[in-house]
Structure 1
Amino acid sequence: MKSTPTPTATQMEKPHPCDVCFQSKFCLPIALQPSEMGRIRDVIQATVRVQKGEALFSTGQAMTKVYSVHAGSFKSYVTSPDGREQIVGFHIPGELMGLEGLGQHTYFTDTVALEDSEACEIDLRALETTTRDLPSLQHQLHCIVGGKLVRAQQDQFSLGSMHADERLARFLLDLSERFKARGLSPDEFVLRMSREEIGSYLGLKLETVSRLMSKFHSAGLIHVAQRQIRITDRRALAELLMPQT
């Protein structure tokens, strides 16, 4: 079982993090009425700052908190018995991390900051108590967990059935839609993860990801400037995912 130092935490000054978070509509507070918002202070108690490359939590650690991305981005990965790492998710603001361990109160992934980031600590015991009292919050949590299961199924389908170019196209379009939902540009964004990390997530070699990025760029589907991506032909990129007739 891995042992990872607790990330350096700096509790933010008041107001409460949820009062100033523009991602609250994607997180747990969206389920609450104004009169119930006081209860969220029992659940989300602090915001943790995590430096690039620092672990937020690690596989096998006792789970007392789940986390919501407040700013920045994270990756989650699992490690095989022979030491190979497989990235299983990337997380952007408003998304919850650590939910896989809800059943056994143990973390099942290592989750690491891709850049200097912030995460809101969600006390697990307080969350369980509050969801029993507030059915709307319980429903929101179920929706978030359900959404993660759907994404996991889609990822499994991608790895098992899609060609390499389809996997990368799906990855870029999925990121685009997630940024769009948060009021950010869906057409131009920075990839905080490396091409090697993208390859790990998609089940592709680094060389394949780099070759496909260049291919998409040359075909006019995207414009690539190091990690800056601009989608220049969304329709053609999406057509890669359509059945060929």
Structure 2
Amino acid sequence: MKKMKDQEQIDQYLQAYQIKSIFNEQLLPYLELYSFEQGELICSQGDPAQYLYVLVKGKIKIYTTSPEGNTLILSFKTPLEVIGDVEYVRGIDFINTVEAVSTVVTIGIHYRWLKNYGKDYSPLLQFMLDIITNKFTIKSTSLSFNLMYPVEVRLASYLLSVSFDESDSLCNDQLSISIKDAANLIGTSYRHLNRIIAQFCKEDLVERNNGFILVKDREGLSAIAGHNIYE
């Protein structure tokens, strides 16, 4: 993680996403830019929450982990998204893990400044209310899809989500993923996932080689996914 105090760049992001009005004049001086490299964790489930992050560039992956160590993917997000909003409102530790899928840039502000200068500022409160209610609607839908849709659909969606990101030209269609981790993330067994990958290879949708999975037919995967259930 890199922290940058670049007010000009912050202003550009605020203007681009039309969110400058949600921060009052007292909060603006405390906004900072945070960048994360691909694969870096922005926050970890159970860690103390201290910052509110507004995602302004890149793609993130959100997942939860059970006490037994099993993980389940909840969603992938691109701008505009907020990390730490539920935790701020409820005063709790981070409830999920958030990982950078591509290079990520966020605007961050410490909770203490929000509590000092933003707790009664209605534009900010309305913004967070909109984000939180939308987030829980999507989470409910995502969990339902994990229960209702077959592994073929979930894997196709997962591959589409992690292999391409319009906001970052460095992303490409070649992935280096752990099959075991992928199985946990989409909620299936390692053996079953291997069968589906072999099926996808046979249908020339993907190519598996030396631990890499190459997406060969995005349209074919999109047809299987129907719509991208993790986004």
Partner of 1:11: 4
Partner of 2:35: 49
What does the per-residue CA deviation read over 1:185-241, in whole Å, with 9 as the maximum and x for residues that have no partner?
9xx756586544332221023443343244235436x45574553412367325599
Superposed displacement of residue 124, structure 1:
2.9
SS at match of 1:105: coil
Partners of 1:77 and 1:85 within 8 A in 2: no
> In structure 2, what is the Cα distance between the partners aligned to 1:114 and 1:172?
12
Q: Which has the higher contact order (CA 8 A, sep 6+)?
A: 2
Partner of 1:67: 53
Paired letter, 2:149 = M
> In structure 1, what is the Cα distance between the partners aligned to 2:58 and 2:97?
17
SS at match of 1:15: helix
Superposed displacement of residue 65, structure 1:
0.8
Superposed displacement of residue 32, structure 1:
4.7
Aligned length: 218
Superposed displacement of residue 15, structure 1:
1.5
Partners of 1:66 and 1:97 within 8 A in 2: yes
Superposed displacement of residue 91, structure 1:
4.4
Of all paired residues, the percent bearing the same amino acid is 16
Partner of 1:168: 155
- 107, 111, 115: which one aligns with 1:120: 107
Alignment CA distance shift 1:38-1:96 (3 Å): same
Paired letter, 2:54 = S
Partners of 1:68 and 1:119 within 8 A in 2: yes
Partner of 1:216: 200
Paired letter, 1:133 = Y
Q: What aligned pairs does 1:224-239 form with structure 2 within 5 A after superposition? A: 224=207, 226-229=212-215, 230-233=217-220, 236-238=223-225
Please tell me whether residue 97 in structure 1 is matched to residue 83 in structure 2. yes
Which residues of structure 1 form unaligned runs of 5+? 1-7
> In structure 2, what is the Cα distance between the partners aligned to 1:235 and 1:106?
36
Q: What aligned pairs does 1:138-149 form with structure 2 within 5 A after superposition? A: 138-149=125-136
Partner of 1:86: 71
SS at match of 1:132: coil
Superposed displacement of residue 110, structure 1:
3.6
> In structure 2, what is the Cα distance between the partners aligned to 1:53 and 1:127?
28
Partner of 1:4: none
Partners of 1:66 and 1:99 within 8 A in 2: yes
Partners of 1:189 and 1:228 within 8 A in 2: yes
Superposed displacement of residue 152, structure 1:
1.3
Which residues of structure 2 form unaligned runs of 5+? none
Partner of 2:184: 200
* TM-score, reference length from structure 2: 0.67
Q: What aligned pairs does 1:21-32 form with structure 2 within 5 A after superposition? A: 24-25=16-17, 30-32=18-20
> In structure 1, what is the Cα distance between the partners aligned to 2:175 and 2:126?
32
Alignment root-mean-square deviation, CA: 4.1
SS at match of 1:10: strand
* TM-score, reference length from structure 1: 0.64
Superposed displacement of residue 64, structure 1:
1.9
What does the per-residue CA deviation read over 1:92-137, in whole Å, with 9 as the maximum and x for residues that have no partner?
44232233423123222343445664433233344464363243x4
Partners of 2:63 and 2:74 within 8 A in 1: yes
